[in-house]
Chains A and B, each alone.
Chain A
């Protein structure tokens, strides 16, 4: 608890330096980031602080980064943007112009990355971000933004494939999404996928971010007898959605959510009501994912849990991949000069605990999503590139029959 308390002193702690006791003489490379440590998005934002920190510590412990044969230590400079986009833009500007950060790590969430990438572009300092998946971030031909989250437009890609393969296949689909950069991208990407899969869209509704009342939408789902419900939103909304579905006895054949399902605290908050919920993840802590610093993804997950007391999800793994990508690029470029590192990032190709890291021409990674489902107290991998991995629990039973 006391460690948690310490971490949560955000009102005071503007700056959290990496606790690396920078071995006396080794030159430092400063990685700057502005993260949501407080405010409404802090719940996921803090994963990035934790991820950047564990990666930096691990790499420094292994001797740091060899740039042109000289070992450098990594230092983190993190600001708390209080979940405020405007503040985060100011902080990134400050990181570059005043704090002289060599390179940038990203914030959480698409709307932040969308705004903050304008700063990295302006000052020509590369930013590798693992928190924004919206296709909008990468559609502006920016050269200094790189993203390690799978594209938002394809979040439901594997899910739609699975819907076709389910027996009986759902007869209608409801698509609900929040009105922000990420969720709108998800919806825009999912619509054509559903169409080409021949799944009729019975409801296509956009709702306000931070909505708390879903009773009206749920009543419509029930009255239209929708079979499959796909929700792109934030964890708070999805939590309310599931609780209210239960209290209104609305049980479609399946529902799936863009966020929440992979996160431990989400499943904890819902308890047994989380059962049957589908989600997706581009990352699972598998021993098959080898990593230069952590061994493999499984060992990483253990080390992470031991350090922070909670299981890492894909956000955390993506954050670690960001640090590793920058390190890799600095080593290849043999310099910390931002433009050179940027060119090296564009050509980067290596295996990590997060998966193979490589960026397309727009700077975005491409990773396939795996469909996951809460099954009892387990999180099961259900459907991947090669079809079913485990049998899904489908259709979802009525709430009073559980």
Chain B
């Protein structure tokens, strides 16, 4: 019983991290209709940024998150205006190609600049934990979970209530109508992509504190984020949160009861099931 409680706690904390990683991918996908295959690579960049801030300038990884996010926002805004905007109206295949190309370029740039050495963001408290009865809760994961919750809630409120957020949702739902109401899509798309990358950057910082960073972590992360976004649904940050938690728990339980090699089978099996049974995601509106 104690073991089950611990495994569930592990799953929930892992799920929170998953959710924040997938949040940016889902936003960009939902609004711009771009499946950003470079999303994992941007998480990797964010992780390196946080690592650099911590190792060379002594900035705590959690305090450094806004800095990383701001830098990634700027990068995202520029990339969308300068590059992705060229293909935003073209068939999805083109956007897939261009983001795939970005992922390759970013990966090799990272190896060039940072080498293939492993890095970890290892502040003194990274290994600490709280005990809650029989359950051990790692501090870094708990903090990452808190940040994930806060970001999700923030995103949700922003999309629901702010002027810009409404414009973003309007554009996602009906571009023509949004334009008629004076929404300028070029700026809005760039802001959305910037937000997506800012979220990826923040996720990267969190990932670096609980895991390890090398130039090649991107591709697997993209795949995982893709699954979470599908499971959770694209039109609501809360859905992504649910998707992340669901996947984290499924993977942890699979590891316990079936075997560690089956964790990926379970997560992508879940993806297929969701696509069959609830194609618009767990929290998505019925199609």
> What separation, in Å, do the CA atoms of A217 and B254 have in the docked complex?
11
Query: Chain B nearest CB: distance from A107 CB in Å?
Result: 16
> What separation, in Å, do the CA atoms of A215 and B116 have in the docked complex?
25
User: CB-CB contacts of B116-132 with A at 8 A, as 1s and 0s?
Assistant: 11111010001111010
- Whether the pair A8, B112 counts as a contact (CB closer than 8 A) is yes
**In the complex, what residues of B have CB within 8 A of residue A205's CB?**
259-260
- Whether the pair A249, B122 counts as a contact (CB closer than 8 A) is no
- Whether the pair B256, A216 counts as a contact (CB closer than 8 A) is yes
**In the complex, what residues of B have CB within 8 A of residue A9's CB?**
112
Known: A38-B108, A247-B141. A220 touches B3 (CB 8 A): yes
In the complex, which residue of chain B has the Cβ closest to the Cβ of A266? B118
Can you list 16 pairs linking A and B with CB atoms under 8 Å apart? A4-B115, A5-B112, A9-B112, A38-B108, A43-B214, A83-B216, A206-B259, A208-B263, A210-B220, A213-B263, A216-B255, A223-B3, A249-B131, A269-B117, A269-B212, A270-B120
B60 within 8 A of A: no
Interface size classification for chain B: 35 or more
Q: Which of B122, B212, B252, B261 contacts A215 (CB 8 A)?
A: B252
A240 within 8 A of B: yes
> What separation, in Å, do the CA atoms of A43 and B127 have in the docked complex?
25
**In the complex, what residues of A have CB within 8 A of residue B141's CB?**
247
Known: A247-B140, A269-B120. A239 touches B259 (CB 8 A): no
Q: Which of A10, A239, A271, A399 contacts B111 (CB 8 A)?
A: A10
For B2, B211, B260, which residue has the most chain A Cβ atoms within 10 angstroms? B260
Query: Chain A nearest CB: distance from B205 CB in Å?
Result: 16
- Whether the pair A216, B117 counts as a contact (CB closer than 8 A) is no
- Whether the pair B129, A216 counts as a contact (CB closer than 8 A) is no
User: CB-CB contacts of A208-245 with B at 8 A, as 1s and 0s?
Assistant: 10111101110110110000000000011001100110
- Whether the pair A220, B256 counts as a contact (CB closer than 8 A) is yes
- Whether the pair B7, A219 counts as a contact (CB closer than 8 A) is yes
> What separation, in Å, do the CA atoms of A382 and B136 have in the docked complex?
33
Known: A216-B7, A216-B10, A217-B255. A243 touches B263 (CB 8 A): no
Q: Which of B113, B129, B138, B251 contacts A213 (CB 8 A)?
A: B251
Query: Chain A nearest CB: distance from B88 CB in Å?
Result: 27
Please provide the chain A residues from 277 to 301 with a CB less than 8 Å away from any CB of chain B in the complex.
none
Query: Chain A nearest CB: distance from B83 CB in Å?
Result: 19
How many A-B contacts are there with CB distance less than 8 Å?
127
A46 within 8 A of B: yes
- Whether the pair B211, A212 counts as a contact (CB closer than 8 A) is yes
Known: A236-B212, A265-B117. A211 touches B260 (CB 8 A): yes
Known: A40-B216, A216-B255, A247-B138. A240 touches B211 (CB 8 A): yes
In the complex, which residue of chain B has the Cβ closest to the Cβ of A217? B260
> What separation, in Å, do the CA atoms of A213 and B129 have in the docked complex?
17
Q: Which of A247, A265, A269 contacts B210 (CB 8 A)?
A: A247
- Whether the pair B111, A215 counts as a contact (CB closer than 8 A) is no
**In the complex, what residues of A have CB within 8 A of residue B3's CB?**
219-220, 223
> What separation, in Å, do the CA atoms of A362 and B238 have in the docked complex?
59
Q: Which of B6, B115, B127, B264 contacts A246 (CB 8 A)?
A: B127
B102 within 8 A of A: no
Query: Chain A nearest CB: distance from B16 CB in Å?
Result: 13
B139 within 8 A of A: yes
> What separation, in Å, do the CA atoms of A331 and B210 have in the docked complex?
53
A15 within 8 A of B: no
In the complex, which residue of chain B has the Cβ closest to the Cβ of A237? B212
B198 within 8 A of A: no
- Whether the pair B118, A43 counts as a contact (CB closer than 8 A) is yes
**In the complex, what residues of B have CB within 8 A of residue A266's CB?**
118
Shortest 6 CB-CB contacts between residues of A and residues of B = A247-B138, A207-B260, A246-B127, A216-B255, A215-B10, A42-B116
> What separation, in Å, do the CA atoms of A9 and B212 have in the docked complex?
23
User: CB-CB contacts of A326-363 with B at 8 A, as 1s and 0s?
Assistant: 00000000000000000000000000000000000000
Please provide the chain B residues from 107 to 163 with a CB less than 8 Å away from any CB of chain A in the complex.
108, 111-113, 115-120, 122, 126-129, 131, 136, 138-141
- Whether the pair A269, B118 counts as a contact (CB closer than 8 A) is yes
A248 within 8 A of B: yes
